[in-house]
């Protein structure tokens, strides 16, 4: 099977990218899929779930700034089948490399020598920076988490334009798997306000994620929702989302 590389992207902050990336990666690993979770965000929230980013010697910073092989940065997690390509705040220093002609291709090149994975899940920062561009250039698919209460039409337009130009110029195989609506407080908001707008831009997954304290608690406990609260509504919703995504990707 060809590796599915899924960029979890939305340039707005707090939309549920990191939560979705983490739980998607754990869900895949628990299904026996060999998975690499790539933290493309200098905020390093994903990395922080597994270790203290400040103590890591080799991270994506070294891959981006010094051409270190990705293999040197990847660490095995305590979860069977799950590996992490960690980030740390110093990654922000290389953001200015956007002027370099090779800049958009660093992640794609680095992933070529990382070994065989069934899935690579990339958590993106809340910007259309060179890091998001790297993710979209490397990816086979995009998933767009969109927060139910605060989504923005301007944001959707910008993201769609960026995806389309990367598809046209650099990565013709890139496909938008769809948008997943997160942090839903009331279903009526979803059906009346969110769906009609978001679906003008992207296919919207039928599965969506409701707001619940279990998610924030799981981050504090540094666990996936499956390990922190396996019986929670959100654990079931993330499983439904995973199954819907897999059937769409025929994986």
Ligand X SMILES: Nc1ncnc2c1ncn2[C@@H]1O[C@H](COP(=O)(O)OP(=O)(O)OP(=O)(O)O)[C@@H](O)[C@H]1O
Give the CB-nearest residue to Mg ion. 18
Which of Mg ion, ligand X, none interacts with 13 (beta carbon under 5 to 8 A by kind)? ligand X
Sign of the torsion angle spanned by Cα atoms 86, 167, 144, 89: positive
Please identify which residue in the block is written with the tokens 């705040």.
Answer: 89
Instruction: Check residue 182 for interaction with Mg ion (CB under 5 A).
Output: no
Beta strand pairing call for 119-123 and 82-85: unpaired
Angstrom distance (rounded) from CA 148 to CA 125: 19
Which of Mg ion, ligand X, none interacts with 44 (beta carbon under 5 to 8 A by kind)? none
The interface region with Mg ion, picked from 12-20, 48-56, 86-94, 214-222 by CB under 5 A, is 12-20
The interface region with Mg ion, picked from 10-18, 58-66, 83-91, 222-230 by CB under 5 A, is 10-18
**138 with 104: CB under 8 angstroms?**
no
Contacts with Mg ion, 45-84, as mask; x by CB under 5 A: x---------------------------------------
Which of ligand X, Mg ion, none interacts with 14 (beta carbon under 5 to 8 A by kind)? ligand X
> Using CB atoms within 10 A of its CB, is residue 161 exposed (0-12), middle (13-18) or buried (19+)?
exposed
**184 with 208: CB under 8 angstroms?**
yes
Angstrom distance (rounded) from CA 145 to CA 224: 17
CB of 203 to ligand X, least distance (A): 19
Which residue, among 20, 18, 12, 4, has the nearest Cα to 208 in the 3D structure? Answer: 20
Which of Mg ion, ligand X, none interacts with 15 (beta carbon under 5 to 8 A by kind)? ligand X
Query: Which residues sit at the interface with ligand X, rule CB under 6 A?
Result: 13-19, 41, 43, 45, 126, 182-183, 209, 211-212, 215-216, 219, 234
Instruction: Check residue 12 for interaction with Mg ion (CB under 5 A).
Output: no
The interface region with Mg ion, picked from 13-21, 108-116, 223-231, 238-246 by CB under 5 A, is 13-21
The crossing angle, in degrees rounded to 10, of helices 130-138 and 153-169 is 50
Angstrom distance (rounded) from CA 182 to CA 22: 14
Which of Mg ion, ligand X, none interacts with 182 (beta carbon under 5 to 8 A by kind)? ligand X
Q: Select the residue interacting with Mg ion from 9, 11, 18, 218 (CB under 5 A).
A: 18
Angstrom distance (rounded) from CA 8 to CA 38: 10
Which residues contact Mg ion (rule: CB under 5 A)? 17-18, 45
């Amino acid at each position: 099977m060809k590796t599915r590389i899924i960029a979890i992207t939305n340039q707005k902050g707090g939309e549920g990218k990191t939560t979705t990336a983490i739980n998607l990666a754990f869900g895949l690993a628990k299904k026996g899929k060999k998975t690499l979770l790539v933290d493309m965000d200098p905020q390093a929230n994903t990395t922080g779930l597994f270790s203290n980013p400040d103590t890591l010697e080799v991270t994506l910073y070294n891959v981006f700034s010094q051409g270190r092989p990705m293999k040197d940065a990847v660490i095995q997690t305590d979860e069977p089948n799950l590996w992490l390509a960690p980030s740390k705040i110093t990654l922000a220093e290389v953001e200015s490399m956007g002027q370099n002609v090779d800049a958009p291709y660093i992640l794609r090149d680095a992933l070529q020598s990382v070994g065989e994975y069934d899935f690579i899940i990339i958590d993106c920062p809340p910007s259309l920076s060179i890091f998001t561009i790297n993710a979209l250039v490397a990816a086979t698919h995009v998933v767009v988490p969109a927060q139910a209460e605060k989504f923005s039409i301007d944001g959707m337009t910008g993201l769609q334009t960026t995806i389309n130009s990367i598809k046209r110029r650099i990565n013709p195989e890139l496909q938008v798997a769809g948008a997943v609506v997160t942090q839903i407080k009331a279903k009526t908001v979803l059906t009346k306000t969110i769906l009609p707008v978001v679906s003008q831009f992207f296919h919207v997954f039928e599965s969506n994620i409701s707001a619940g304290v279990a998610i924030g608690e799981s981050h504090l406990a540094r666990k996936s929702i499956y390990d922190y609260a396996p019986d929670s509504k959100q654990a079931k919703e993330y499983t439904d989302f995973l199954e819907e995504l897999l059937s769409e990707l025929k994986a």
